[in-house]
Amino acid sequence: MNRLSHLFVVSLCATLSTTSLAAVAQKRPNIIVLVADDWGYSDVGSFGSEIATPNIDSLAKEGVRFADFHAAASCSPTRSMLLTGVDNHRNGVGNMPETMPAEHLGKPGYDGVLNDRVITVASLLKDSGYHTYITGKWHLGKTAGTLPNNRGFERSFIQADSGSDNWQERPYAPLYDKAAWFENGQPAHLPQDYYSSTFIVDRAIDYIAADSHDQQPFFAYLGFQANHVPIQAPREVVDKYQGIYKDGWDALRKARHARAIELGLIPEGSGMVTMASTGDWNALRDEQKRYEARRMEVYAGMAETMDREVGRLIAHLKATGEYDNTLFVFLSDNGSEPTDPYDITAIKLWLQFNYSRDIDRLGGKGAFSSIGPSWASAAAAPLSGYKFFAGEGGLRTPLIISGVPGIQANQITRAFTHVTDIVPTLLEAAGVKAHEGLYRGKAVEPLIGSSLVPVLQGKSELVHSPQKAIGYELSGSAALFKGDYKLVKNIEPVGDGQWHLYNLKTDPGEVFDLQQQMPERFVSMQVDYAEYARANNVLPMPVGYDYKRQGQLYALKHVLIPKLKAAWPPALAGLLLLAGALVVWRRRRSERAS
């Protein structure tokens, strides 16, 4: 019996069985959600990448690839919607704490953590008899009441911040004074042989194995740090990519664009723009080209290493007989990361004291790397934009779902899909009734997404009605989706702050602005967006807002200035000594010159 037939039988038995509740629960599917961090649209092999991702691709062969899936343009807003099925402005994460302007702090919807008006899918599944686990990145709160053990997860080992070093227990930037890891709500420490992707899978396997005796199904959420900065990976994996990127980001972008068309992810003849932030590869010196290529080699190695660890989890489930009864969801939380932290003054100074950027050390312990905007644009190919902005390259990411009973295997759907659709999908697959704005007698935010099960089973080609308007906003960049069309504006430096209109069905690369050809649609969709913003308490951004400047202010306020104040007397003495030495040096230099 193959996997799909087995799942159908399991589903049928779960419906018809008259045995005990425990026996029925045993037949419900396990659920595993794999969340990649900052992967571009075409960073997966089955989405057109040259990076080796055979284990994730195997899930694609057994399931459905969503070519038109949309998340938010940064991590915690996406994660908040992924776990609650509620718009991020209503669930408390209208923005990340690290990039939230002071004017928004504490306003409704801008808590920076999940509020108490939403219920997580973990809580709903736990109530229905599932074991619930989370390992890896959380980034939805780190006070006692906002950690996963108080949001429906039985077992948890999580990183509470936006990220941390992948080799050591240390922060990756001066946004934090330490790496905030917690196990089951208590501060925790990492082992000496730690590497992020390996450890995250280790802990997930430990949790699954620990409860395997009671035959209950499980929900496991794995939040990988790959490929969030710092880009780090084992040397032997990185070296496999030597020479692959020697022709630069333009060549990579064109190759991935062609591959996406060949796979059927985007229509034949789709255009592609070159972003203004993309550098001129041919203008680089040979040593600069080698350095840039090495950065992308490390990036590829980090992605392949994550895939290898996913394969280890799959192997464990096969060995224990659980694989054929497991539903998998794979996605990236947003598009590729364009930010080079060395371009941010306060963070650059901190990095120079804490990390190396030598080419021979990139990827290893104590070394820091990122890919920057040019490679990020290639990682998002064939789309325009990247993380933090509302272009398709920031919002559209790979989504793969497998293991649903009756699923049509190895299929691609171009149906518009949103991250808030995941919770209804998981609940339907688990046979759990979705709450309708009431939980244990308390009014809560209702789910706003739609189940993807009809599309997965080939019973529908659409997830949402063409008349349904779906809004989005983050840090001043915004979008409104309706049918085949997208209304979008991006703040500087990526955009001009003005609205533009695109047909995503024919033009996913956002090349042809249709506002002149379709003035009525252009205006009506702006009206739809205004209603979305009003209903969800979306706040306007302060004039001149920039996410990098805001991150620098956060670092200064929360880490750098407090550390300077604590060390002020010795720091002052050091400055005086330095000033004195400079005066002596200048005097001697003047004497020699005379």
Phi, psi values for residue 323, rounded to 5°: -60, -45
To the query of whether residue 13 is one of the catalytic residues in this protein, the response is: no
Residues 230, 233, 235, 238, CA torsion sign: negative
CA dist., res. 369 & res. 301, Å (int)? 13
Sequence-separated contacts (24+) of 177-180 with Cβ below 8 Å: 177/558, 177/559, 177/562, 177/563, 180/142
Residues 182, 185, 187, 188, CA torsion sign: negative
Please report, as a single letter, which amino acid is at residue 542.
P
Question: Are 256 and 42 within 8 A, CB to CB?
Answer: yes
User: How, if at all, do strands 218-223 and 186-187 pair?
Assistant: unpaired
CA dist., res. 520 & res. 503, Å (int)? 14
Catalytic residue among 70, 75, 89, 435: 75
**354's tokens:** 């804490």
Q: Which residues contact 382 (CB under 8 A, 6 or more apart)?
A: 41, 42, 253, 256, 257, 260, 261, 266, 270, 272, 508, 509
Question: Are 334 and 72 within 8 A, CB to CB?
Answer: yes
Residue with tokens 């807003």: 77
Catalytic residue among 89, 104, 139, 257: 139
Residue whose C-alpha is closest to residue 434's, from 446, 422, 418, 443: 446
Phi, psi values for residue 308, rounded to 5°: -60, -40
List 187's β-bridge partners, or say none: 182
Q: Which helix (H) or strand (E) holds 411?
A: strand 411-413
Residue whose C-alpha is closest to residue 477's, from 414, 541, 398, 424: 541
- Residues identified as active-site: 75, 139
